[in-house]
Amino acid sequence: MPAPLLELIDVSRHFGGVRAVSGVSFGVEPRQITSLIGPNGAGKTTIFNLISGLLPPTGGTIRYQGASLDALPPQARARAGIGRAFQDPRVFQHLSALDNARLGFPGQSGERLAYGLLRWKRVQTEDRLLGEAAEAMLARVGLAECARLRAGDLSFGQQRFLSLVRTLAMRPRLLLLDEPTVGLTLEEVGALARLLRELAAGSQTVLLIEHNMDLVMEVSDSVILLVEGQIVAAGAPAAVKRHPKLMEAYFGAGHGP
């Protein structure tokens, strides 16, 4: 069995007296889709904030590629290959869709002011090439026609796909997707499922937060059920689907089998 790409070891995050995440331990295997499910308030997004470095843990440690992430700020974690798409698409509304996508590419020399000013021509060439790559990625999710439009003028679903493109442009080793189907039409959910399947076939490691159980059960290699900040079930999708805690977690006590 390969070593996990990401490993949470006894991780907790408390907000005053509220235990948003409490003693959570799990691993994300490389080239697999791992899903975090659970009712609202279970601590799923808090776990994403802990992994991406936007929140420090109250206790425990998070390891990525065998090394602790604890001392790394968010931008260093992103550069190490942890890409995150938020629940709200958070695209840059005043920039074009193309510029949003271009921003995802790592290591752009034109993002260093002095270099950009001194090597203007070289930076222009590099940026043109990135633009072509970004356009190809936008075309892949059906946004080719929207490349020059302001991101704020796109529909919610288009913004969602744009945010995914921006994150994928980082070429992340680990992709964190936070409820990517929220607000999407049925057709868009289908397109997203296709994209997830393509990513899985391409050996992309994904940690997915999702409420759409059909999608979760279809694409996931393993599923973790989180309730009130604690893991109550984990394993293969079929096993977690049958777990009595699942119905109870979503519909309350008495709804279990």
Partner 1 sequence: MDYALHLLVVIGIYTILVVSLNLAWGYTGLLSFTHAAFAGVGAYGTALLLMRLRLGFVPALLLACLLAAGLGALLCAVTARLGGDYFILAVLGFQIVATAVFLNWVSLTRGPFGLLGIPKPTVFGHAITTTGEYLALVAVCAGLVVALVHRTVTLPFGRMLRAIHEDEVAVLVLGKDVARAKVAVFALSAGCAAVAGGLYAHYYSYVDPFIFDIHESILLATMVVVGGRPLRGSIVGVVVLLLFPEALRALNVPGEITAYLKQLLYGSLLFAFVLLRPEGLVREGSA
Cβ nearer to partner 1, comparing 7 with 127: 127
For tokens 């043109």, name the residue. Answer: 128
Site for partner 1 in 198-237 (CB under 8 A): none
Closest separation in Å from C-beta 227 to partner 1: 27
Nearest distance, CB of residue 84 and partner 1, angstroms: 5
CA distance 73 to 190: 35
Based on the shown chain and the rule CB under 8 A, indicate whether residue 144 belongs to the binding site for partner 1.
no
Smallest separation (angstroms) from partner 1 to the CB of 4: 21
Least separation, in Å, of the C-beta of 239 and partner 1? Answer: 32
- Write out the binding residues for partner 1, residues 43-72 only, by CB under 8 A: 52, 54
Per CB under 8 A, does 193 bind partner 1?
no
| Residue 13 touching partner 1 (CB under 8 A) | no
The pairing of beta strand 174-178 with beta strand 82-85: parallel
How many Å is the Cα radius of gyration of the chain? 19
Window 151-190: contact mask with partner 1 (x via CB under 8 A): ---------------xx--x--------------------
Q: Helices then strands (H, E): number in the chain? A: 10, 10
β-pair partners for 68: 63
Taking the complex as a whole, the smallest distance from the CB of residue 135 to partner 1 amounts, in Å, to 16
Secondary structure of residue 53 in the 3-state scheme: coil
At 172, the amino acid letter reads P
Helix 186-201 vs helix 156-168: crossing angle, to nearest 10: 10
Task: Show contacts with partner 1 in window 84-123 (CB under 8 A).
Answer: 84, 86, 90, 92-95, 99, 102-104, 106, 108, 110-114, 116-117, 120, 123
> Residue 36 Cβ, how far from partner 1 at the closest point, in Å?
18
Distance CA 39, CA 227 (A): 7
Are the CB atoms for 106 and 170 separated by under 8 Å? yes
d(CA 10, CA 63): 11
Assign residue 41 a region: left if phi > 0, alpha if psi is -120 to 50, beta otherwise? left
If the CB atoms of residues 5 and 232 are measured against partner 1, the closer one turns out to be: 5
**Interaction site with partner 1 (CB under 8 A):** 52, 54, 74-76, 78-79, 83-84, 86, 90, 92-95, 99, 102-104, 106, 108, 110-114, 116-117, 120, 123, 127, 166-167, 170
